[in-house]
Amino acid sequence: MLETTSKHEAAPSSLGMQKTQYDIAVEQFQRAADLMKLDENVQEILRKPRRILSINFPVKMDDGRILLYQGFRSQHNNALGPYKGGIRYHPNVTIEEVKALSMWMTWKCAVAGIPFGGAKGGVTVNPKLLSKHELERLSRTFFSLISEIVGPFRDIPAPDVYTDSQTMAWFMDEYSKVDRNNANAVVTGKPIIIGGSLGRDSATGKGVAVTVEEAARHLKIDLKKATCAIQGWGNVGSFAHMFLEEAGVKVVAVSDSKGGIHKKTGLWFNEVAAHKKKNTSLANLPSSENITNEELLELDVDILVPAALEDVITENNARSIKAKLVAEGANGPTTPEADDILFKKGVTLIPDILANSGGVSTSYLEWVQNLQHLWWTAEEVDHRLTAIMKKAFAEVWKTSQEQNVDMRTGAYVYAIGKVRDAMQIRGWV
């Protein structure tokens, strides 16, 4: 079950099978590894997660029924430090998905320059169908069962799709019972009152905005004259909207799962937020035009922020992308084939492992505060996060320019090099 396709074996696509997210993660890794002429022994280690825990566990429903759920935790590599990565609740969670996401977390942490390795977890469940009490029982049971492989110095989970600060509070409390200690540092993304960090909710969107500002500086894009479209107006997309607007960018289109809106004169953040809160969707905002998520991607704008789902920019629509700069707020929104097309078109793409690393970077700051029993102001957290993101962007930009490759490949080369060096100095290879 843990075996994966090596570069010497036929890839799924060549056999007529659809690629999984893990296949794509390995393909992205392999591109950089080939460019680096990476030692084959190092490649073999990095292609596969070190450990995957798969569990089936019962949860008692409010009506007395017992339902069985499946959960996973994939730990990819911890050469640079403890494993780090979110836990998601979604009906489509699979072992292939968490394997891919744990690998991407390894590179994301390495790019950000924070002392973590990569992990990811999830439970195959539709949380919208559970009551709060059922969600709590599911969360506590799942976390108690993975408690043997997590911990403040082993593996530090965080929120992800359909999990939040309340979920992390249940996780922390459950682990504290097992550990017989008030283990604040076992998870990040917690409520402020039990050790959460100020600035954590907006961190990923803030990181997207910082990387856009840095890229614009290199590309000579005047942000005060630039237009932007954001696909996905959830936590990441909405805060990216807010921070980009503060930088002078005119956001002309946004979307959610039900569709999008477009307004050439600009969509103000507060206006969109009020409409979304009142109507639960973005559609039919007065004086704006309703558009589809697909149409949004192809708008004539300077900046495009795909912050919703994976695989939305593909070989089928990449040639129609008109933006000069793409910043990936979501994980895996662009396929490898689309990467090639965009690069040949001269589009600069800030990859997910750089653009959306603000979340894990602020998780690191939360972890540090917990371990040292500190509490930083929002301004201090923002200052530290901005410094982390600017340094990460500079390193990736430098690597991609030196190697004459797209920024994703540059980010991978930079990240893989750091993980390889850590493995070598520790004597793993």
User: Of 310, 333, 355, which closes a domain?
Assistant: 355
pLDDT at 323: 97
Q: Note the pLDDT of residue 2.
A: 34
pLDDT value at residue 128: 94
Q: What is the pLDDT of residue 20?
A: 87
Rounded CA-CA distance 244/268 in Å is 11
The answer to whether residues 43 and 61 belong to one domain is: no
| Whether residues 57 and 36 fall in one domain | no
Is 16 within the bounds of a domain? Answer: yes
CA angle 168, 75, 167 (to 5 degrees): 10
Res 184: pLDDT: 94
**Domain limits for position 285:** 203-355
Question: Is residue 285 in some structural domain?
Answer: yes
73 and 209 both lie in a single domain? no
Q: How far apart are CA 114 and CA 299, in angstroms?
A: 36
The pLDDT of residue 16 = 53
Catalytic-role residue among 48, 99, 108, 120: 120
Closest C-alpha to 284, from 294, 295, 272, 298 = 272
CA 231 – CA 352 distance, rounded (Å) = 14
Q: How would you class 317 by CB atoms within 10 Å of its CB: exposed for 0-12, middle for 13-18, buried for 19 or more?
A: middle
Under a CB-based contact definition with an 8 Å cutoff, are residues 156 and 150 in contact? yes
Q: Does 22 lie in the same domain as 118?
A: no
* Together in a domain, 38 and 58: no
Concatenating the DSSP letter of every residue in 23-68 gives HHHHHHHHHHHHHHT--HHHHHHHHS-SEEEEEEEEEE-TTS-EEE
- 265-291 pLDDT, tens digit per residue, is 999 999 999 999 998 889 999 999 999
Does 177 share its domain with 315? Answer: no
Q: Do 89 and 161 touch, CB atoms closer than 8 A?
A: yes
390 in active site: no
Residue 77 falls inside a structural domain: yes
**For the domain that residue 126 is a member of, what is the CATH number?**
3.40.50.10860
Asked whether residue 282 is domain-assigned, the answer is yes
Residues of the chain with pLDDT under 50: 1-15
Q: Are residues 173 and 246 in the same domain?
A: no
Rounded Cα–Cα distance for residues 349 and 355 (Å): 9
Q: Is residue 288 part of a domain?
A: yes
Domain identity same for 55 and 174 = yes
Answer yes or no: do 43 and 54 share one domain: no
Q: Which of 355, 375, 398 is the last residue of a domain?
A: 355
Domain count of the fold of the chain: 3
- CATH number of the domain where residue 260 is located: 3.40.50.720
pLDDT at 39: 96
Same domain, 36 and 69: no
CA distance 158 to 152: 12
On whether both 117 and 155 belong to a single domain, the answer is: yes
Q: How far apart are CA 407 and CA 394, in angstroms?
A: 11
Sheet containing strand 325-327, edge to edge, reads 289-291, 259-262, 250-256, 227-231, 303-306, 325-327, 348-350
Residue 28 sits in the same domain as residue 155: no
pLDDT per residue as tens digits for the range 27-83: 999 999 999 999 999 999 999 999 999 999 999 999 999 999 999 999 999 999 999
Confidence at residue 161, expressed as pLDDT on a 0 to 100 scale: 86
Residue 426 lies in a domain: no
Quote the pTM value.
0.91
Q: For residue 378, tell me if it sits in a domain.
A: no
156: which strand partners?
84
Report yes or no on 337 lying in a domain.
Answer: yes
